[in-house]
Amino acid sequence: MAEPTTADLAKLICTLIASISNLQGQVAALQQERKFDPLAFINRYESYFHQQRIAVEEQVWMASYNLEAGAQMWFLQVQQDEDTPSWCRFSELLNLCFGPPIRSNPLGELMACKRMGFVTEYQDRFEALLPRVGTLTEAQWV
């Protein structure tokens, strides 16, 4: 078996760099998807609908207009599968698809939340987990 030439090695390095760039793009896309918080999205829109007195039949349309990337594609699939859902059904489906796993332990996740990087990153993670825990007893606050 012959030794690879410099040109062969250069070509291989270019291929590897392209693969790494592609993987980095995929990882970035997945990280962006994970940042979508259905609880915050739903609460923001319910507040807006209440303040602006938006008609019930317009609510899903208005909220779905602001979905991005994977969430937008998910909504298109929901519309194909079951037509445009009611706001209640839309909220339920959105949380099932993008929310925490059904068998999650929100209090355990909050307790396991540790500062690994910047304080702001820890604070963002803590504040994202806190509303999912629900009502805490006095003992749990300590």
**58-86 residue pLDDT tens:** 999 999 888 887 888 888 888 988 889 99
The predicted structure's pLDDT at residue 27: 46
* Residue, of 119 and 115, whose pLDDT is higher: 119
Number of DSSP helices (H) and strands (E) in the chain, helices first = 8, 0
Residue 99 in this model has a pLDDT that exceeds 50: yes
Closest CA to 42 of 5, 116, 86, 94: 94
DSSP-derived secondary structure letter, 64: H
| pTM for this predicted structure | 0.53
* Angle made by CA atoms 112, 113, 119, in degrees to the nearest 5: 155
CB of 60 closer than 8 Å to CB of 78: no
Residues 6+ apart with CB under 8 A from 130: 110
| 2: Cα within 13 Å, side-chain hemisphere | 5
Average pLDDT over residues 21-27: 56
Average pLDDT over residues 110-134: 76
